[in-house]
């Protein structure tokens, strides 16, 4: 009898279990009354998930009883989450409508107009503020270290200035924009990425490869476009303060205000201070430059008649930085008593967009900036002034839903003056400021061949008042599958660049090497081909995006610093030969329904110089780089982030055959870990450890650090004994803890 009752009990429990697994949720997902196919829908912290079909229908089956959070998401739309309870034998029907997300997946850098990322014929990588919060830094320059194929390169061991490399091409080939306007260039190349209040950054868009058709001659290597928040959708107050065990203090404040019903503003302040003299490698020099920086940003949005707007923004930056021997003081500035590199920077910027009242299709965009630098590198003074004014009219018109036509007229004025021989008259004595006028016209037509094929044709003509006519053609092709899970893009373009050595290459100013120009520097030209493939894979509990690219750039007349012909000089000349940058990269994004998110990226490249049939690797360029970000969200509002990068060896500049320093850098990795606790929608605390492996370059990176003025040394006969801080590929800042606090009012 007992066995009989036991069998009945087991049968009943099994039957009940089967019934409980019949619970389901089904319905339709739409947007603006139109069905939304291939949207993701899943129960958080479970393996139960699905996607909507071509008619927007979804169904989740075999759901155990309990309480769940249901997540509905789709690319280009705002994610929705709801709490839901499942009882036994329950079949729930729920329909959902998603709103378009104009923030996270809308890009402008590829085509000069807003378009969803998946529809853009130009591959654009988008990094949101959430991405940068995984590894908080005091500047955008440092934030980019976890972007695949992008490397912040330090150019000076003493003053720690640097630029941004994209796919192995140096900083001057990277065009940096703020809200689509050319702000960071020329003299500001090594300083312009500091002091941008990160509390005001909505996203950063990265385009790899030439974009000269739309942005002009400096966009040879790629674009970094920093998009700031709009006053209409930013928090009322956003504060972010953090400090590190090295003594760094960074403060970001963003404040939204309202002047009238139609006028709103956004005020931002960034303050960074570091005054701790640390010399862990015992070379007698500061490992990290001491800095005191203040930046004030203001953006105003004015609504006008017929829904037209006028947006204007401005920024002011003041920075005082110095590095050098540990006992350097202000009184030694510019003397040969104690070596120091002291840089005072004053910079102002303004930029904006005005929609013309006479037409809905014409925008006037403008920017202007002034950059003033007062600096000493040991006893060498470098005083420079740069003024840039830019304006362009952009006309956009859709023709029968097939052609998306863009026409633009641009003008750029550049005034540059310094106290180096770069601005001397031919007599070598009389100073003459450099003035460049650059009018231009560009045209672009995005042709929708059908729903799955697009062709983008573009061309630009500029007239440089110093170098003459510049023509830059461009072509892009895009194919996508019907469900947008496969996207292929192919692009080709031409680039053109005029170099200004002293404003772009900090190595020309620091150290004891003499700078020399070998003849008149002609403009560089380049041709680039880029192929990109994106694959999206959705399973029951994972959402995967694979993004692969291959690139090839060929340069003529490339301007390169020669450190090797003469150990006492840096010789700048046009390459008598050619240079090639080629490689492949892969990005992988994986999001699990249980709260785990993983991002991996790797770039394999070969950047070479061929002269007199001899091929050599470019200096300070790695052949391999990798980045990663692993995040996990716990139920108790805790998040853990593990980020890092890995770089292969780089060829480094030596002072000759007897230089005892290694010719190549080692493999190295910078890794960070962070734990974040969110208490509510207002308060958030975070902390962790940076540079977990405590990697720093060799202690002898600064050559002859004990004799920075080369006293008693014949550097012509013994170049390996000269003072040289240009041997640099990574920061001397080792392991450190950090702690931060964010407070936000929406």
Share of the chain above pLDDT 90, in %: 49
The C-alpha atoms of residue 204 and residue 127 are separated, in whole angstroms, by 5
Tens of pLDDT along 501-516?
A: 545 454 445 555 566 6
The C-alpha atoms of residue 153 and residue 167 are separated, in whole angstroms, by 12
Going by DSSP bridges, is the β-strand pair 542-556/290-303 parallel, antiparallel, or unpaired? unpaired
Tens of pLDDT along 341-379?
A: 999 999 999 999 998 877 668 999 999 999 999 999 999
Q: Which two tokens stand for residue 139?
A: 């500047």
Q: Which residue has the higher pLDDT, 18 or 491?
A: 491
C-alpha gyration radius of the chain: 28
Provide the H-helix boundaries in 87-228. 129-133, 140-143, 212-215
Q: Which residue has the higher pLDDT, 667 or 11?
A: 667
pLDDT grade, residue 297 (50/70/90)?
very high
The C-alpha atoms of residue 585 and residue 432 are separated, in whole angstroms, by 45
Q: What share of the chain is helix, strand, coil (3-state, %, to 5)?
A: 10, 55, 35
The C-alpha atoms of residue 273 and residue 320 are separated, in whole angstroms, by 10
- Whether 647 and 624 have beta carbons less than 8 Å apart is answered as yes
Q: Which residue has the higher pLDDT, 496 or 564?
A: 496
Average pLDDT, integer, range 652-681:
94
Average pLDDT, integer, range 667-671:
97
Q: What pLDDT shows up at residue 305?
A: 74
Residues 6+ apart with CB under 8 A from 315: 178, 195, 196, 295, 296, 297, 298, 347, 348, 349, 350
Residues 6+ apart with CB under 8 A from 639: 631, 632, 633, 675, 676, 678
Tens of pLDDT along 97-115?
A: 887 654 346 788 778 777 8
The C-alpha atoms of residue 433 and residue 423 are separated, in whole angstroms, by 6
Q: Which residue has the higher pLDDT, 235 or 113?
A: 235
Three-state SS for 469? strand
- The domains found in the chain, sorted by start residue, are 2-97 (2.60.40.10), 227-745 (2.40.170.20)
Q: What pLDDT shows up at residue 511?
A: 52
Tens of pLDDT along 589-616?
A: 998 888 899 999 999 999 998 988 889 9
- Whether 448 and 402 have beta carbons less than 8 Å apart is answered as yes
In this structure, the number of other CB atoms found within 10 A of the CB of residue 519 comes to 8
Q: At CA 735, angle to CA 729 and CA 736, rounded to 5?
A: 125
Three-state SS for 498? coil
């Amino acid at each position: 009898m007992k066995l009989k009752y036991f069998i009945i009990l087991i049968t009943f429990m099994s039957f009940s279990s089967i019934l409980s697994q019949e619970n389901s949720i089904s319905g339709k997902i739409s947007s603006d009354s139109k069905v939304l196919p291939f949207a993701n829908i899943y129960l958080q912290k479970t393996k139960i998930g699905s996607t909507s079909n071509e008619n927007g229908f979804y169904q989740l089956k075999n759901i155990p009883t309990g309480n769940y959070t249901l997540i509905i998401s789709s690319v280009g739309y705002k994610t929705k989450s709801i709490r839901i309870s499942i009882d036994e034998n329950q079949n729930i029907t729920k329909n959902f409508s998603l709103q378009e997300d104009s923030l996270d997946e809308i890009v402008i850098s590829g085509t000069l107009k807003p378009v969803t990322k998946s529809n853009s014929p130009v591959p654009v990588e988008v990094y949101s503020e959430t991405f940068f919060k995984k590894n908080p830094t005091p500047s955008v320059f440092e934030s980019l270290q976890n972007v695949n194929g992008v490397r912040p390169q330090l150019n000076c061991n003493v003053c720690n200035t640097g630029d941004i490399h994209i796919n192995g091409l140096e900083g001057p080939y990277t065009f940096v924009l703020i809200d689509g306007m050319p702000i960071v260039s020329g003299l500001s190349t090594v300083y312009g990425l500091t002091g941008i209040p990160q509390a005001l950054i909505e996203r950063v868009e990265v385009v790899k490869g030439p974009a000269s058709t739309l942005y002009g001659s400096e966009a040879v290597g790629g674009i970094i476009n920093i998009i700031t928040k709009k006053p209409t959708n930013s928090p009322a107050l956003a504060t972010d303060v953090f400090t590190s065990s090295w003594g760094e203090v960074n403060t970001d404040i963003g404040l939204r205000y309202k002047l009238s019903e139609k006028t709103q503003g956004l005020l931002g302040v960034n303050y960074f201070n570091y005054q701790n003299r640390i010399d862990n490698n015992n070379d007698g020099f500061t490992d990290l430059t001491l800095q005191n920086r203040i930046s004030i940003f203001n953006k105003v949005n004015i609504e006008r008649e017929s829904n037209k707007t006028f947006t204007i923004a401005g920024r002011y930056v003041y920075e005082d930085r110095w590095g050098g021997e540990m006992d350097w003081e202000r009184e030694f500035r510019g003397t040969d008593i104690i070596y120091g590199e002291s840089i005072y920077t004053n910079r102002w910027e303004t930029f904006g967009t005005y929609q013309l009242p006479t037409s809905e299709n014409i925008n006037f965009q403008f920017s202007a900036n002034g950059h003033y630098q007062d600096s000493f590198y040991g006893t060498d003074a470098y005083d420079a002034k740069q003024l840039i004014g830019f304006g362009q009219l952009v006309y956009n018109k859709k023709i029968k839903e097939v052609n998306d036509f863009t026409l633009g007229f641009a003008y750029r004025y550049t005034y540059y003056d310094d106290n180096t021989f770069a601005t001397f008259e031919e007599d070598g004595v009389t100073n003459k400021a450099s003035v460049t006028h650059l009018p231009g016209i560009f045209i672009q037509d995005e042709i929708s061949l059908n729903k799955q094929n697009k062709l983008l044709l573009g061309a630009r003509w500029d007239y440089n008042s110093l170098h003459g006519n510049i023509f830059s053609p461009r072509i892009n092709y895009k194919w996508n599958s019907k469900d947008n899970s496969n996207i292929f893009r192919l692009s080709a373009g031409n680039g053109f660049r005029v170099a200004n050595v002293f404003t772009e290459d900090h190595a020309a100013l620091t150290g004891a090497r003499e700078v020399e120009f070998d003849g008149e520097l002609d403009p560089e030209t380049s041709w680039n081909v880029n192929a990109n493939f994106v694959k999206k894979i959705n399973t029951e509990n994972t959402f995967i995006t694979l993004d692969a690219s291959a690139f090839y750039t060929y340069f003529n007349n490339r301007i390169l610093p020669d450190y090797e012909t003469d150990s006492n000089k840096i010789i700048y000349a046009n390459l008598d030969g050619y240079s090639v940058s080629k490689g492949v990269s892969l990005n992988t994004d994986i999001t699990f329904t249980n709260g785990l998110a993983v991002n991996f990226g790797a770039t394999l490249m070969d950047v070479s110089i061929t002269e007199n049939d001899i091929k050599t690797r470019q200096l300070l360029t790695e052949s391999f780089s990798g980045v990663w970000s692993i995040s996990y969200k716990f139920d108790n509002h805790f998040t853990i982030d593990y980020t890092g990068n890995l770089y292969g060896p780089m060829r480094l500049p030596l002072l000759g055959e007897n230089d005892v320093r290694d010719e190549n850098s080692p493999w190295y990795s910078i890794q960070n870990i962070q734990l974040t606790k969110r208490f509510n929608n207002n308060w958030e605390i975070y902390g962790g450890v940076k540079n977990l492996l405590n990697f720093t370059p060799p202690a002898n990176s600064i050559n002859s650090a004990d004799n920075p003025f080369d006293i008693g040394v014949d550097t012509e006969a013994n170049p390996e004994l000269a003072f040289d801080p240009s041997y640099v590929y990574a920061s001397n800042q080792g392991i450190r803890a950090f702690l931060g606090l964010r407070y936000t009012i929406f």
